[in-house]
Amino acid sequence: MNLNNIFSGSITFDYPYVLYLFLIFIPIFLYDILSGFGKNKLVLPEKLQKKQKISAYLFRLFIAFSIIALSGPRWGTGYSESEYRRGLDVVFAIDVSRSMDIRDAQTNNALQTRLERGLSIAKESAVSVSSARFAAALGRNRGYLAVPLTYDNETVLDFLEILDGSSMTGRSTNLEALIDTAANAFQNSSPAKKVIVLISDGESHYGIIRNAINRCTREGIIVTTVAVGSDEGKPVSGITGNNESAGEIISRRNAAVMQMAAERTKGLYIDGNTDNASYLLSSHLLSMSQGTGTGSSQNESKQRNTFFIILAIIAYALSKFYPLLSGNMKQGLIITLVFFLFTSCSEGKLLLLEANYLFSRGRYDEAVIPYQKALNFKDSAPYAEYGLGLSLYLLDERPAALNRYNSSGKILETVSGNEHRELRYRNYYNSGIIFFEDEDYVSAANAFKEALRVNPSRVDAKRNLEISLMSIAMEAKREKPSEERSEAREVIFDYLKQQEQQYWKSGEWTNDEQYSENDY
């Protein structure tokens, strides 16, 4: 723990009103003065009186440290919250109402349907911004989350590829429901920036879009809009007015609504008819993805409540056990605690403790944040990578989890092979589990072999290695009989063909009988 960094700069508090709790010490001190603190009417031995006095002071320190921790103290320079906004979460909110089937999206001297144009912009952007997490939501009279947030961008691209107007579009439009559904796709505890890319012509027959936009503003969600279609509009195929004289319904792009949604949430309005629409959207998303974790926010003061929480725990423990210890034991305990606090208990390890606590409570998405913070500290980085791998695996992000286990292993390659033995084993073992679940039995077997090289005594790795090898053999056996059966079928067919030919060759042809009747 860098003491120069901790004790530099002025102290501020997130909740300064909590400091008023220090007023409870006024009656305590008055009681000490009036009752003659330290003078026991039962005339206890001097050593016991001294122990009780020190125990009382330590308990009061516990109360004081607890109050300071609750007030949210900050000082020194450190990482601010905005620096931990690593990555970018993007939800494509796609309007699939019937008007999106109108072919009036002009681009490159060609006409496309509004949906086709919007999907092409979305696909090009998803390919360009590969570092982001993507999701997809569809909307007509209500919203549907089609693809939840995932690091596997191929899933979203495959979905956008198969989406077309003939199978998905339907009557009516409710942009409020669509935006709400897209907003629900985000994880509140995620440190990433949240962006909704609304692809629509702006027409809405149900709901109040301003309600959804106000929600996005409150929750810090940026809505970037891609307006497709023409301002002149075209008739919606197969739909007429309330009477025959009313004629066909004309659907026009409502650019004003799309501009309002973008401006209110500090997003970007993009005209889908321009040839560089995909470039504009990609550049916009890339700027937010690359801009996270940088900027003037690095000079903001660091929250230090964890430091006082640890001091409060130590003070409480000492207040309970100090009277029971002998003189030599007390000195040894104090030296050990001081050494632990200022050497072993680094800031990275404190972050790991916080992340492990969240992980143990099943709050995996929240545990990702302190794990990411701990990556900035050399002593905790390999364990933080491993913790991220576990969290991502339990969030059904297995490819990302494998990458984290691999990163943890690469960091451990720079230290002695005898250190962090258990972590090395777990990186290989958990990687083997993921490979096995993906039915990549060869990679799973190799991972379990590496785990056993680290720790040959682990029975679970031996058992899983045997199962992987058996799975490889079973796969080979399943393929081999099919080849043998195919060869056997060929041999039998050739034999039957030869027999049939021999039969017809050896047969004697007889003359046709002569009939005098007509042949029908």
Shortest CA distance to 448 belongs to which of 459, 394, 439, 438? 459
Q: Tens of pLDDT along 269-319?
A: 999 888 888 888 988 888 887 644 433 334 445 566 777 888 888 888 877
Grade residue 8 by pLDDT with cuts at 50, 70 and 90.
very low
Tell me the residue type at 4. Answer: N
To the nearest whole percent, how much of the chain has pLDDT over 90?
15
Q: Which of the four pLDDT bands, split at 50, 70 and 90, describes residue 86? A: low
- The DSSP secondary-structure symbol of 207 reads S
Rg of the chain over CA atoms, in angstroms? 35
Question: Residue 166 and residue 116: Cα distance in Å, rounded?
Answer: 11
Closest by CA position to 399, among listed 150, 63, 82, 64:
150
Q: State the DSSP code for 41.
A: T
List helix spans (H) across 36-104.
46-70
- Give domain 87-233+251-291's CATH architecture: 3-Layer(aba) Sandwich (3.40)
Q: Cα–chain-centroid distance for residue 180?
A: 20
The domain locations on the chain are 1-82+304-345, 87-233+251-291
In angstroms, the CA 222 to CA 281 distance is 13
- Give the range among 28-37, 370-379, 511-520 with minimum mean pLDDT: 511-520
DSSP code string of 209-243? HHHHHHHHHHTT-EEEEEE-S-SS-EEEEEEE-SS
Q: Which residue has the higher pLDDT, 66 or 12?
A: 66
For the CA atoms of 426, 432, 438, 441, what is the dihedral angle to 10 degrees? -170
Entry pTM? 0.45
Q: How far apart are CA 178 and CA 141, in angstroms?
A: 9
